[in-house]
Amino acid sequence: MANELSDPTIALLCDLIRRRSITPDDAGCQTLLSDRLRPLGFECETLQFNDVTNLWARRGTSGPVLCFAGHTDVVPPGDEAEWSTDPFEPTFRDGSLYARGSADMKSGLAAMIVAIEEFLDENPEADGSLALLITSDEEGRARDGTLRVMEALAERDESIDWCVLGEPSSQRALGDVIRIGRRGSLSGMLTVKGVQGHVAYPQLADNPIRSFAPVLAELHTIAWDDGNEFFPPTSFQVVDVRAGIGAPNVTPGELTARFNFRYSTEWTHETLQRKVRSVFDGHDIEYELNWHLSGKPFLTQPGRLINAVHAAVTEQTGSAPELSTGGGTSDGRFISPAGVDVVELGPVNASIHKVDEHVHVEDVIALTKMYKRIMELMLL
C-alpha cells in the first residue's frame, strides 16, 4: 500500500473513502477539500440546505469561470458481509482500489484537487477563475444540493462558463466515453378507474385491465423518435402495473401503473405528455395521469470545452473518446440550464453502486493529468 499512497491523488482518495459519507451525510469530506483549497487562494463557502452540505469554492473574481463539480456522498454499501473487504477501508488488490465511492465519485474529487494544486503551482497567474461546486446529495433526492447552489449563485448574479463534472463516465477504459449531455427523464403515474365485480358476471363490472391493455399495446408500438446526432432514441418503459385484489373470482376496480420516458431533445416533456394523453383519449378508458419530471434533456454544443476535454483525453490515452448522452441523469441537469457548457469525465463506471466497487489506481493518476490539461487548455 505504501507504494500507491506515495501518489497524492491516491492518498487523498483514501482519506475521502474513510469518511462514511452516505447520502446526505458529507462526513467531513468537504472540510478536507476546503482545507486543501484555502491555501491555494480559494474562498470556500459552505451552503447548508436542510441536511445537505454543499461547498462552493472559488479562486479569482474575473471570468471566465471554469468549475469542477461533483458529490461527496455515496450510496449505502448494502450487506457489508457480501464485500470482500471493508467498504470504508480502502484496499488495494491487483492494481485496483476497492471501496464504496472509489469510482462514484471520490476519485474524481481527489483528482480535481490534486490537478488544481499542480496547475496553480505551475501557473499562479492563470486567467479567469477556478471554482468547485460539491454537494452531499447527488445520490438522494437531489433537492437541496446542486440545484439549490445554482439558485443561490443566480440570486447574486454569479455565473459559471464551463463545468467539468467528475462522474464516472467511462465504460471499459478511462476516457473511452465523455458525456456531453443527458437524456431527459419523465415519469407517469397512472390510475385507471373501473368497477370491481364477480369474474362470472363481467357485464356487471368494468375491468380496468381490459381497458388499459390496448392503450399499453399502442404506447409500445409508437416509434417515439430515432434519436438524433447526439441522442439515442427515446425509450418508453413500463416499470410497474398493479391490479387485482388477490382473489381468483374477483375482477379489480382499479389499476395503477408507472412508466418512464428517457427522452431525447426531439421532445419536450410537454410534447411527450400531450402525445401520451392523445393515445389515452383515443380509447374508451377512465383514467387519471400525474407526471414527475426529474430532469430535462441537456446538450453541450461542440465548442471550446468539448475540444479541450477531447484533447486532454486523447493525449493521455492515445485514442479519441466517444461523445455520449447515454446513461442516467446527473447533476449536469441542474448546471446546464444556466447556460453552462457541461462535460462529464470520470473513471470507469462498471462497478458503481455495486458490492466491491473499485477503480484502477492508474486511471486515477491519469485522470488527474487529464483535469490538469483541461485547465491548461481553458485558462492559459
Amino acid at 295: G
Q: Give min distance, CB of 142 to Zn ion, in A.
A: 11
Q: Which is nearer to Zn ion, 117 or 167 (CB)?
A: 167
Q: Does 104 bind Zn ion (CB under 5 A)?
A: yes
d(CA 375, CA 309) in angstroms, rounded, equals: 10
112's enclosing H/E stretch is helix 107-122
End-to-end CA distance of the chain: 36
Q: Give min distance, CB of 103 to Zn ion, in A.
A: 9
Q: Give min distance, CB of 138 to Zn ion, in A.
A: 5
Q: Give min distance, CB of 168 to Zn ion, in A.
A: 7
Exactly one of 105, 132, 192, 370 binds Zn ion (CB under 5 A); which one? 105
Q: Which is nearer to Zn ion, 104 or 356 (CB)?
A: 104
Cα–Cα–Cα angle for 295, 297, 298, rounded to 5 degrees: 115
Q: Annotated catalytic, 73? A: yes
Q: Which stretch binds Zn ion (CB under 5 A): 28-36, 149-157, 167-175, 204-212?
A: 167-175
Q: Is the peptide bond before 105 cis (omega within 30 degrees of 0)?
A: yes
Q: Which is nearer to Zn ion, 133 or 379 (CB)?
A: 133
Looking at the chain, how many residues does it have? 380
**Count of chain residues binding Zn ion (CB under 5 A):** 3
Task: Determine the residue with CB nearest Zn ion.
Answer: 104
Binding mask 118-157 for Zn ion (x = CB under 5 A): ----------------------------------------
Determine which one of 26, 73, 139, 331 is catalytic: 73
Q: Does 356 bind Zn ion (CB under 5 A)?
A: no
d(CA 337, CA 148) in angstroms, rounded, equals: 13
Q: Which stretch binds Zn ion (CB under 5 A): 106-114, 127-135, 161-169, 219-227?
A: 161-169
Q: Which is nearer to Zn ion, 206 or 331 (CB)?
A: 331
Determine which one of 25, 138, 344, 356 is catalytic: 138
User: Collapsing DSSP states into helix, strand and coil, what is residue 363?
Assistant: helix
CA dihedral 52, 339, 109, 175 (to 10 degrees): 140
Please, how many CA atoms are within 13 Å of residue 377, restricted to the half-sphere of its CB? Answer: 19
Q: Which is nearer to Zn ion, 150 or 165 (CB)?
A: 165
Place of cell 411527450: 272
From 245, 155, 234, 142, select the one nearest 197 (Cα to Cα).
245
60's enclosing H/E stretch is none
Q: Annotated catalytic, 254? A: no
What is each CA distance from 271 to 226, 253, 266, 356, in whole angstroms?
A: 16, 31, 9, 42
Binding mask 245-264 for Zn ion (x = CB under 5 A): --------------------
Active site residues: 73, 138
Where do contacts with Zn ion occur on this chain (CB under 5 A)? 104-105, 167
